[in-house]
Structure 1
């Protein structure tokens, strides 16, 4: 979803300011326990610092050379038991990275082409309704790639205040992908002709999910499992559905003071969001992605990380964004409910976190900044 992502991504360039200038050497097997304990204490402090109202609880997972921390602070739900590092959480728009990876896997298999027109996979009637500008439809010119890199120009239903109001007014309503697309087509206009700009849009990922289902002949939750989750042994990750829950308890996400744990998840389970995961699973996916264990070809990852939209030190590839440059270049994706995955290739540092709060007041961004600084060899004054 859009609202949370916008706040984090707009501030993303600040992530790489003021960090140590060079990557630290990897820790040797003879590293003493004292520095290790000190760093673990620092990460625990960073998590505890973030776990303050309105944030109910924090899970933080940081890995890299000489760094191996997983911890939690705060509560499973407001006033409830303590949050555990093994508890599950809603990934929200972090799902987009999985969706893009699934499409790229299908491209490797020759089942989807990134430059293919979406009309090769989608209903012609729907395609004609897309991207209508000046009485003419440009839907037939949209490519699969443009859905993934947000250059199709499609109106983002998730950024529409009326849509979120409708979700909140009837939180137990079942939403179909068709209803989400109808909302996008009837409540707003295209931002630009396909390929002529950049605008983050969940609508494109709903269409990408339909392409995945068409190419695999399977519903989306099964396609995720066969393409990504089973091969990577991500057993605690799944597409949330009514009546289905994994083994790891699902912690309570909040929208301000509203507990959204029992909302019908279908408003966000159609390609742009909807995955439930754990810190361990999301870290495993993040590291597998950047260590070359998701795709069969190294060129596929390069394609994913090739930005089509770049502004200064910020750029968006396929389902993932880069902020910063040089050693502190960071690839990341946040999600509406306060989750984030991030990876610094030059330092081989991964940071995965959740704050379980859509209106977190900047807590997630600060948590990511602080955790990355510590992992990169810097310090956080409040936790020194």
Structure 2
């Protein structure tokens, strides 16, 4: 697949306004789709050069597809299967955002509330004016303790079982000060989402893990997905696709920004029930899938993409030797989750694989897409860049002037979903 500079790709994707020409049509053969995805995993596995890869797809019909290959444990060489769990890294932010949208729908919070109305943040920069919305779309100007120069990693790696307190984590931002005034710019911040986890705990009067179970896991009858607030070298995770970095530091220092663990199928099923199952409102989905004025490619806990004119949203993750992605395609009501327990040797191969999986799924509905060859009229799911260890923003966000376009696409997608539901 031919990759172009992201800004040019976004410009070329202006013809996305023709999205409504892709009407829901007679679908293809589920068994054939499953066979094609399994074959794709087999053929691309060597090029990915990771211990293990696991893919899960949940279709609008409820059909579930899984494909996997490789090693689930880099020490024991245990063979991977569909029940192995992975760290989700920053896909956790998307799940945290869903929790916040549910709390807003229940009337417990409003997205434009000041964070200080719910969480005590002594000496925190701009604590009196930062809003929940600004934390969710990374426009609050909060210093990122994970991806900024400081002693965080040297301490965390030297004491892998150390449980961090909120005061210890937030002190990095208190000492560094704000990156900018809230609402003035976009800057990805793990610390911002750590604070949102504290907000959820304060509002629900539960631990973050308990709140996740009560808001999503129990109502949706899910298994195989949880917020990891306990694991360390002495307390490992069961059925874990472990690598040699799996427990290198305690995820209490990451919190809601990146501490979720899941089977890919559990992640895909959660997203499918939340969006296709209307577990959150159309208004909440539209808010999550619409970019801000300061970054049109990032909504409320969501990255926004287009590939061959197909709008989709979700999140990516890179943390401790794991890479993950969740994608939801509103037009077809499909969820896709892909996770690996190692960093691909060549970043382009990772993005190519994700694009091919998505196009294979879309071709099930359209029956017309070419999934091979090169094209100069594509927007890749992600702009391929070099991986940066534990840099949660290794997937760079684009700028540009397409926020209105993405808003229109998001709105059309929600309308299509609503129309299909009514039919």
TM-score between the two structures when normalised by the length of structure 2: 0.73
CA 1:177–1:270: 2 relative to 1, 3 Å: farther
The alpha carbon displacement at 1:106 in A equals 1.1
CA 1:199–1:37: 2 relative to 1, 3 Å: closer
The alpha carbon displacement at 1:37 in A equals 6.6
How far apart, CA to CA, are the structure 2 residues paired with 1:252 and 1:243? 12
Asked if 1:281 is matched to 2:266, the reply is: yes
Asked if 1:215 is matched to 2:203, the reply is: yes
SS in 2 for 1:306: coil
The alpha carbon displacement at 1:347 in A equals 3.4
Q: Could you say which residue in structure 2 is the equivalent of 1:89?
A: 86
105, 113, 119: which one aligns with 2:110: 113
Q: Could you say which residue in structure 1 is the equivalent of 2:367?
A: none
126, 130, 153: which one aligns with 2:124: 130
Q: Given that residues 46 and 370 in structure 1 are in contact (C-alpha distance below 8 angstroms), is that contact kept between their aligned partners in structure 2?
A: no
TM-score between the two structures when normalised by the length of structure 1: 0.80
The alpha carbon displacement at 1:40 in A equals 3.9
Report Cα offsets for 1:312-355 as digits up to 9, x if no partner. Answer: xx521111110227841120201122011012222333221111
42, 51, 56: which one aligns with 1:56: 51
How far apart, CA to CA, are the structure 2 residues paired with 1:166 and 1:345? 42
How far apart, CA to CA, are the structure 2 residues paired with 1:338 and 1:197? 27
SS in 1 for 2:257: coil
The alpha carbon displacement at 1:205 in A equals 1.0
How far apart, CA to CA, are the structure 1 residues paired with 2:34 and 2:103? 44
The alpha carbon displacement at 1:45 in A equals 3.0
CA 1:27–1:379: 2 relative to 1, 3 Å: same
Cα RMSD (Å):
3.2
SS in 2 for 1:316: coil
Q: Could you say which residue in structure 2 is the equivalent of 1:134?
A: none
Q: Could you say which residue in structure 2 is the equivalent of 1:350?
A: 335
How far apart, CA to CA, are the structure 1 residues paired with 2:178 and 2:237? 41
CA 1:94–1:243: 2 relative to 1, 3 Å: closer
How far apart, CA to CA, are the structure 1 residues paired with 2:69 and 2:161? 30
How far apart, CA to CA, are the structure 2 residues paired with 1:306 and 1:65? 22
How far apart, CA to CA, are the structure 2 residues paired with 1:122 and 1:375? 42
97, 101, 104: which one aligns with 1:104: 101
222, 235, 240: which one aligns with 1:250: 240
SS in 1 for 2:142: coil
Q: Could you say which residue in structure 2 is the equivalent of 1:78?
A: 74
Q: Given that residues 151 and 198 in structure 1 are in contact (C-alpha distance below 8 angstroms), is that contact kept between their aligned partners in structure 2?
A: yes
Q: Could you say which residue in structure 1 is the equivalent of 2:406?
A: none
Asked if 1:196 is matched to 2:192, the reply is: no
CA 1:13–1:374: 2 relative to 1, 3 Å: farther
Asked if 1:140 is matched to 2:124, the reply is: no
SS in 2 for 1:354: strand
How far apart, CA to CA, are the structure 2 residues paired with 1:172 and 1:159? 21
Aligned length in residues:
349
Q: Could you say which residue in structure 1 is the equivalent of 2:143?
A: 155
How far apart, CA to CA, are the structure 2 residues paired with 1:158 and 1:357? 20
Q: Given that residues 309 and 317 in structure 1 are in contact (C-alpha distance below 8 angstroms), is that contact kept between their aligned partners in structure 2?
A: no
Asked if 1:365 is matched to 2:351, the reply is: yes
The alpha carbon displacement at 1:97 in A equals 1.0
The alpha carbon displacement at 1:38 in A equals 5.1
Report Cα offsets for 1:187-226 as digits up to 9, x if no partner. Answer: x342210011111101111111111111111111111110
Report Cα offsets for 1:116-142 as digits up to 9, x if no partner. Answer: 11111121xx25x233xxxxxx32011
SS in 2 for 1:368: helix
271, 274, 284: which one aligns with 1:300: 284
270, 289, 301: which one aligns with 1:319: 301
Q: Given that residues 163 and 253 in structure 2 are in contact (C-alpha distance below 8 angstroms), is that contact kept between their aligned partners in structure 1?
A: no
How far apart, CA to CA, are the structure 2 residues paired with 1:37 and 1:222? 35
Q: Given that residues 225 and 262 in structure 2 are in contact (C-alpha distance below 8 angstroms), is that contact kept between their aligned partners in structure 1?
A: yes
CA 1:122–1:181: 2 relative to 1, 3 Å: same
Q: Could you say which residue in structure 2 is the equivalent of 1:7?
A: none
Asked if 1:335 is matched to 2:293, the reply is: no
Report Cα offsets for 1:143-181 as digits up to 9, x if no partner. Answer: 111111111010111112432333233323222232111
The alpha carbon displacement at 1:12 in A equals 11
SS in 2 for 1:141: coil
